[in-house]
């Protein structure tokens, strides 16, 4: 997709990867909507973009609220005539042992990481299907494919995003709409401040993630967007355990 003049809605656009996504897409010629519950932070994002003579707008959004999403859709349609690319990027992270944990940590991750993605897709997918084009990028994590201790509820939320995105991709593929799921490792953003990661999970700059997302949208047809090649062996091992157990279950049985 040529980004010139396209309208790109990015949730969590006030900080972290979302802010840099806004900058990268605007630099490629898109009309960027920085959507965030923190309006002041989104305004800071847009100020820098506008100062470079590029296009950006601030729109307040609570990703866990269907009413807030509908209000955003009305604003986007009124100002730009629709959304060409939706980046469901807003997310929260809670880590720690599950036993004895505060269930409030799960509920907020469920509302933002899962409900926010599903509501965003539900809000804009129909419009994209109607015009026969569009691209949705849902931010999950490598935690949406790999199991790790002390991140059970976060991992559950991101597994949900991966599964939902894969189903939606198959559903919308014949209708001209691409769906990609972003699965980064650790990124150097405020969300990860104070979090201890395994040695192999190096912190990468958010610009590296944003650039990969832009390239995936420009190329189209890319189901997964990854960042950390050093996790290839762990991914093969864990996915291989599934296949091995599946094969062992039916060994000797007629196909």
DSSP the chain: ---TT-EEEEETTTSHHHHHHHHHHHHTT-EEEEEES-HHHHHHHHHHHHHTT-EEEEEE--TT-HHHHHHHHHHHHHHHSS-SEEEE-------S-STT--HHHHHHHIIIIIIHHHHHHHHHHHHHHHHT-EEEEEE--GGGTS--TT-HHHHHHHHHHHHHHHHHHHHHGGGTEEEEEEE---BSSGGGTT----TTS--B-HHHHHHHHHHHHHH----EEE--GGGHHHHHHHHHHHHHHHHHHTTTS--
80, 154, 170, 224: the active-site residue = 154
Among this protein's residues, is 224 annotated catalytic?
no
Catalytic residues: 154
């Amino acid at each position: 997709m040529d980004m010139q003049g396209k309208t790109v809605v990015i949730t969590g656009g006030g900080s972290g990867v979302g802010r840099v996504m806004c900058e990268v897409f605007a630099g490629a010629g898109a009309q960027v909507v920085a959507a965030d519950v923190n309006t002041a932070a989104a305004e800071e994002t847009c100020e820098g973009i506008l100062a470079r003579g590029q296009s950006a707008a601030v729109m307040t959004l609570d990703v866990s609220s269907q009413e807030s999403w509908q209000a955003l859709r009305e604003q986007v349609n009124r100002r730009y005539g629709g959304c060409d690319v939706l980046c469901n990027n807003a997310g929260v992270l809670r880590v720690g042992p599950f036993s004895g944990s505060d269930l409030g940590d799960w509920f907020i991750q469920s509302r933002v990481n899962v409900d926010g993605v599903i509501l965003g897709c539900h809000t804009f997918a129909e419009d994209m299907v109607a015009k026969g084009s569009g691209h949705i990028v849902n931010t999950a994590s490598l935690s949406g494919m790999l199991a790790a201790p002390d991140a059970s509820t976060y991992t559950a939320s991101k597994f949900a995003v991966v599964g939902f995105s894969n189903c939606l991709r198959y559903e919308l593929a014949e209708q001209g709409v691409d769906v990609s799921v972003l699965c980064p490792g650790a990124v150097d953003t405020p969300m990860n401040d104070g979090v201890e990661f395994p040695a192999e999970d190096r912190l990468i700059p958010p610009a590296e993630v944003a650039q990969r997302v832009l390239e995936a949208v420009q190329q189209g047809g890319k189901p997964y967007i990854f960042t950390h090649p050093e996790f290839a062996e762990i991914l093969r091992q864990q996915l291989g355990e599934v296949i091995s157990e599946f094969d062992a279950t039916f060994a000797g049985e007629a196909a």
